[in-house]
Structure 1
Amino acid sequence: MNDNFPRILTLLRKENGVTQKQAAAALGVSQALLSHYENGIRECGLDFVVRAAEYYGVSCDYLLGRTPTPSGSKNDAGGASAGGKHDSLLGAVRMLLTMAERIGCERLTQEVEGYLTASVYRLFRKLYRIHPRNESGFFTIPEPRAELKARCRIEETAAETEILVKDSCCEKLLTAQEREKGLLTTDILISDYGDDGNAMLLLVRQEEETLK
């Protein structure tokens, strides 16, 4: 089959809150065989792929890892086919900001915004240097200092976000209610975040292909 199928098959079952025993019964196979499919020990036939896709309400292409979204569209990212090739990136950024605001922790929102702002600022300064006639006076902070400060700002906001998310200092900075609002499944990404959720799904798949 492929490496994606076992992962996605398992992910769908867990996201839907279904036990392996329940899924096996619904799909007409033994629990042991389903376990083999989910762990990539054995390959299934096309008939099982079709049954599993129908059971979880996704396309066969999604189940096989050929498309990033459950609908099966290869370009399903906030109208990317009509809006341009950067739509998945822009939509994913909006999704991050929306998620941070939805969680309701002001400090978390500030750290996410700070990370994104410093990253954009740093990249803009790099691109600004392409043309020799671009005036350095456009900026109020000299280049070496700006680069180092922006880099530090990115690392600082990333660290602060991790402290909040992982509760690294055992301060319980995020309440149980706020953490509950951070629940994410494929269905939630699509239903709650719409086109921006689809954009995030597409970005994740594309970037992971790049990082392999």
Structure 2
Amino acid sequence: MAVSSEFSRILTLLRKEKGISQKAAAASLGVSQALLSHYEKGIRECGLDFLVRAADFYGVSCDYMLGRTPDRSGTTLSIEEIPEPDSAGKENVMKGSILVVLNKKLIANSLNILFDMLNKAGSSSLTREVSDYIMIAVYRMFRVVYSANDKNQSGMFKLPEQIAHQYCAAAMEMRQANASAVASGKPLDGMDRIKDVDSLSLSTEKITREYPLFGTSLLNLINSAEKAVDFHPPQK
């Protein structure tokens, strides 16, 4: 059976998450430690019977083990199933640092305005490039914070640590270049244009008026971001 290249990585990650040795896992899965080692390194391909046993043992679906879905139960999230950022629940309760709560709200509220503008623009290419840029930025910072605890398993990520920063930086530059091409009215081949440029007309007053709940957050974010950049114009 030809298995996904993701299989060996996920098989190793699940064993480490379970906190058991390769020898113990092999015994539970009914194979030799040497064979399991080959599976985890991608040297050998397993059969369907082993795939099913491993999925049952680790409590995940075969699709997850093959890297066909990010959901361990094997289901694929629909738009309706993704919770809103401000949904109630313990995962959204921010206690402690005022700075954490403030920055989370500034960023989340500003993103509401940005994605409303993308919706008005009506360009799938612009939406895709902007979204990918933001997702990569979040991914990069998540990896940084995640790495603070050296006990966390690096197997969560497919991108090797030694190249992750450089590859992400390059990908973000490409996404920004593509987005800028669309925004300037000169999209590259295969990209669609902004359908309604006039809908993107904004001013400080208009932002406050059209986005009474989020406008102040965006204006504060702009100010905070420019302070973080720490640009000092040359003295005349």
Alignment TM class, shorter chain as reference: 0.5 to 0.7
Equivalent AA in structure 1 for residue 207 of structure 2: L
Q: What residue in structure 2 maps to residue 126 of structure 1?
A: 144
String of CA shifts for 1:75-117, please: whole Å, max 9, x gaps: xxxxxx9x93121122112221221122111111111101000
Distance 1:106 1:173, change over 3 A: closer
String of CA shifts for 1:38-76, please: whole Å, max 9, x gaps: xxxxxxxxxxxxxxxxxxxxxxxxxxxxxxxxxxxxxxx
Q: 2:101 aligns with which of 77, 84, 109?
A: 84
Residue 164 in 1 paired to residue 185 in 2? Answer: no
Q: What residue in structure 1 maps to residue 193 of structure 2?
A: 174
Q: 1:197 aligns with which of 201, 206, 215?
A: 215
Does structure 2 conserve the Cα–Cα contact (< 8 Å) formed by 1:111 and 1:161? yes
Equivalent AA in structure 2 for residue 199 of structure 1: S
Equivalent AA in structure 2 for residue 111 of structure 1: E
How much is the aligned-residue C-alpha RMSD, in angstroms?
A: 2.6
Q: What residue in structure 1 maps to residue 77 of structure 2?
A: none
2: CA distance, partners of 1:157 / 1:169: 12
Does structure 1 conserve the Cα–Cα contact (< 8 Å) formed by 2:121 and 2:200? yes
If you compute each CA radius of gyration, which structure gives the higher value, 1 or 2?
A: 2
Of Structure 1 and Structure 2, which has the larger fraction of its residues in helix? 1
Q: Which runs of 5+ in 1 are unaligned?
A: 1-80
Identity %: 23
TM-score by length of 1: 0.54
Higher relative contact order (CA 8 A, sep 6+): 1
Shift of 1:186: 1.6
Does structure 1 conserve the Cα–Cα contact (< 8 Å) formed by 2:125 and 2:192? no
2: CA distance, partners of 1:194 / 1:106: 27
String of CA shifts for 1:144-187, please: whole Å, max 9, x gaps: 23333322221111000111112356989535x52111101122
Does structure 2 conserve the Cα–Cα contact (< 8 Å) formed by 1:167 and 1:173? no
Does structure 2 conserve the Cα–Cα contact (< 8 Å) formed by 1:164 and 1:173? yes
Residue 142 in 1 paired to residue 157 in 2? Answer: no
String of CA shifts for 1:17-48, please: whole Å, max 9, x gaps: xxxxxxxxxxxxxxxxxxxxxxxxxxxxxxxx
2: CA distance, partners of 1:153 / 1:127: 20
Does structure 2 conserve the Cα–Cα contact (< 8 Å) formed by 1:122 and 1:147? yes
- Aligned residue pairs: how many? 130
Distance 1:196 1:128, change over 3 A: same
Does structure 1 conserve the Cα–Cα contact (< 8 Å) formed by 2:133 and 2:175? yes
Q: What residue in structure 2 maps to residue 111 of structure 1?
A: 129
Equivalent AA in structure 1 for residue 185 of structure 2: D
Q: Which range moves more in the overlay, 105-114 or 161-170?
A: 161-170
Q: 1:154 aligns with which of 147, 169, 172?
A: 172
Does structure 2 conserve the Cα–Cα contact (< 8 Å) formed by 1:97 and 1:112? no
Q: Which runs of 5+ in 2 are unaligned?
A: 1-97, 232-236
Provide the secondary structure at the position in 1 that maps to 2:164: helix
TM-score by length of 2: 0.49
Equivalent AA in structure 2 for residue 189 of structure 1: I
Q: Which range moves more in the overlay, 104-113 or 139-148?
A: 139-148
